[in-house]
Amino acid sequence: ASAFAQNTQSFTVKTGTSISETVPDSVLYQYPQFTAGRVHFRNGSTTSAQLNYNRFLDEMQFLDNNGDTLAIAEAETIKLILVGIDSFYYDKGYFFVVSNNGSIKLATKQGFKILDKQKTAAYDMSSSVSSIRNVNSYTTEGKIYNLAVREDVVLTRETYYYFGNIYNRFVPATKKDLMSLYPKHRNEISKYIKENEVRFQERKDLEKLLD
């Protein structure tokens, strides 16, 4: 997936400090503050809350009555989350929709990965280099952003693109995965990509392809 990511920013987490101390909330979270939103569940029910998306943990969080930050439980029961004009769909993770032409969606997922793969970068918990390389996939049990690393680690912030169909199934933005969504249109997809230069890491190119 890293082949289709855009490196936008990097952070050096020094020995003895936590990731949350190094990476500002403006980067960790989608919005500068918790914002009114509405959660639509697969069973048809809805609920309103003050919401914010944690990019590092890939979880939607809300403020309870005491002002504490909590993660939405049983995320697999969520169909759609609306925050202002923004849409988030859940498909084994949250996907932020940046373009939707009615039949197919273009979505992003922002996360962090270790820039220097040669470093051990072990945390104060049982983790290997391979398991923390794409730290945006960590679940709430990890809570890595509150834990200190044992040596300096350089993290990069990256944006990944995904395609989503009308059933809200999302796959990486690649030629192969686009064809998996629309197997009956393989020839048309191949023809367009052959006749047009499609950079699968560029939003404008992807939007033209989807149109």
Query: What's the pLDDT score for residue 27?
Result: 84
Q: Cβ of 183: how many Cβ atoms within 10 Å?
A: 8
Q: Are 49 and 124 in contact (CB under 8 A)?
A: no
pTM value surpassing 0.95: no
Query: What's the pLDDT score for residue 78?
Result: 93
Taking 50 as the pLDDT cut, the residues of the chain under it are 1-4, 7, 117-148
Chain center to CA of 126: 24
Query: What's the pLDDT score for residue 20?
Result: 72
Query: What's the pLDDT score for residue 184?
Result: 92
Query: What's the pLDDT score for residue 15?
Result: 73
Sort 39 into a burial class: Cβ within 10 Å, 0-12 / 13-18 / 19+: buried
Query: What's the pLDDT score for residue 151?
Result: 67
CA–CA distance, 203 with 99 (Å, rounded to integer): 9
